[in-house]
Copies of this chain bind each other. A is one copy, B any other.
Amino acid sequence: MDLLIQTIKEEGMVLSDTVLKVDSFLNHQINPQLMFEIGKEFANRFKEDGITKIVTIESSGIAPSVMAGLQLGIPVIFARKKKSLTLVNDLLTAKVYSFTKQESNDISVSKKYLSENDRVLIIDDFLANGQAAIGLAEIVKQANAEIAGIGIVIEKGFQDGGKLLREQGYRVESLATIHSLNEGKVIFTSDKTEEAVR
């Protein structure tokens, strides 16, 4: 998705060979117009798939998901990382291990909002090791709902998540895939493809 790749090029900050900071438009400050375009792109890619619900995880997955839900005309459910006081019973839960934080956290969704009749699009902001997406997929499966696909805003192509999910048979649609962050520079998979074509 060109607009997204352009924005990452202009605003993304490479903190290390594995960490890209995009908190000017996605993870802290949010650019609503860009989110709208991202939502449109997800809606477009999954419009023929009979999606009934989007499942994401707080907090950075919410903005792109809500924009996709707006354009697909379906509800969004965000998994919580922490148990809410008014959300205690009948939870579907999964453990998500964070490599960056080196800790395991429960994420949860109320049983009430997912059923075996649902076809779910999972959306998240980043795909790195795939742990969050796998946790969300586990929750959807607990509800006996179907997983139609996984929509990712930024995939770190040099980490294992994408491979892992695709090997498990999931359709993964990433709007921008990063080939590497070496030497402080963002190289996209599409840049590499262009190079190969030249």
Contacts and interface: CB of A to CB of B under 8 A. Distances in A.
A50 interface: no
A113 B29 CA distance: 7
A191 B49 CA distance: 43
Q: How many chain copies?
A: 2
Contact of A113 (B28, B63, B110): B28
A30 B73 contact: no
Judged by DSSP, the binding face of A is mixed
Interface string A77-105: 11010001111000000000000110000
A157 interface: no
Interface of A: 15, 19, 21, 23-25, 27-33, 35-36, 58-59, 62-63, 65-67, 69-70, 73-78, 80, 84-87, 100-101, 109-110, 112-113
